[in-house]
Amino acid sequence: MKRSTSFMRSQRRAGVVAALVHRLSGLALTVFLPAHFLALGAALSGAKAFERFMNVTNNPVIKVLEVGLVTSLAVHLACGLRLLAIEFLNLHERTAVTIAICFAFALACGLLFLLNVQMGSVQVVPS
C-alpha cells in the first residue's frame, strides 16, 4: 500500500474551505465571461441581435444561474479582499470569523439579487 499524501479530512478547516470556494468561484466566473462577451458583442450587430440574445437568457434556469453567478462574484470579491488585507494591510484575523463574514456577504448579495429577480417578475397592472 502506498502512503497517502492526499488532503487530510481533519485539515478541511475554514482557511482551506475559503481557498477552495475562492478558486471554484473564480472558475465559475471564467465560464461566465465568454457568455458575457458574446452578449456585449451581439450589441455591435444592432439592437435586434442584442434583444434576441437577451430573450434567450430570459428563462427560469438562466435566472437561477444568475443568482449563483452573483453569489460567486460576491464570494470571489470578498475572499480576494480578505487575502489582500492579510498580505498588504497585515491583517491578523480570526480566520473562521473573517471567512464567515465573507460568506455571509456573498449570501446576502445573492439573496438581494434573488429579491430583485422576484420583484422584477411581478407584473404591475395599471388600474
Partner 1 sequence: MTGTELTVRIWRGQEDGEFQTYRLATRAAQTVLDVVTEIQRGQEPDLAYRYACRVGMCGSCAMTVNGAPRWTCRTRVSAVARKGILKLQPLRNLPVVKDLVVDMTTFFVKWQKAKGVFEPGSVPLADFAIVKPNSAERRAVDAGVECIGCGICYSACDVVAWDRDYLGPAALNRAWTLVNDVRDRGQTERLAAVAAVGGCHSCHTHMSCTRLCPKNLAPTYAIGGLKRASARAALKVTT
Binding site for partner 1 (CB under 8 A): 1-3, 5, 7-11, 13-16, 19, 83, 86-88, 90, 92, 95
- Residue 88 or 120: the one with the smaller Cβ distance to partner 1 is 88
- Residue 6 or 58: the one with the smaller Cβ distance to partner 1 is 6
- Nearest approach, Cβ of 104 to partner 1 (angstroms)? 19
- Nearest approach, Cβ of 12 to partner 1 (angstroms)? 10
- Nearest approach, Cβ of 15 to partner 1 (angstroms)? 3
- Which CB contacts under 8 angstroms, 24+ apart, belong to 25-31? 25/72, 25/73, 25/75, 25/76, 25/79, 26/76, 28/68, 28/69, 28/72, 29/69, 29/72, 29/73, 29/76
Half-sphere exposure of 67 (CA within 13 A, CB side): 16
- Nearest approach, Cβ of 105 to partner 1 (angstroms)? 18
What is the DSSP secondary structure assignment for residue 4, as one 8-state letter?
P
- Residue 19 or 100: the one with the smaller Cβ distance to partner 1 is 19
